[in-house]
Amino acid sequence: MKIDWNMPPEEIERESFRRIEAEMGPHPFSPAQWIIVRRLIHATADFSLAQDLHFGHSPIEAGLEALRRGAPIFCDSNMIRGGLSLPRLRRAFPGYKPDSIHCRVADPKVMAMARERRIARSLAALELSRNLLAGCILLVGNAPLVLAGAARMIQEENLRPALVIGMPVGFVHVVESKEMIMETSVPHIVLKGRRGGSPLAVATLHAILENLDVPSA
**Which of the residues are catalytic?**
42
Residues near 34 by beta carbon (within 8 Å), at least 6 away in sequence: 27
Residue 212's beta-bridge partner residues? none
CB 189 within 8 A of CB 165: yes
- The separation between CA 117 and the C-alpha centre of its own chain, rounded to angstroms, equals 28
**3-state DSSP call for residue 175?**
helix
d(CA 207, CA 88): 11
- Report DSSP state, residue 184: S
For residue 69, the one-letter residue type is R
The three-state secondary structure class of 27 is: coil
Q: What share of the chain is helix, strand, coil (3-state, %, to 5)?
A: 55, 10, 35
Q: Where do the H-state alpha helices sit in 25-173?
A: 31-44, 59-68, 78-83, 86-92, 108-117, 121-127, 130-133, 144-157
Q: How far apart are CA 182 and CA 176, in angstroms?
A: 10
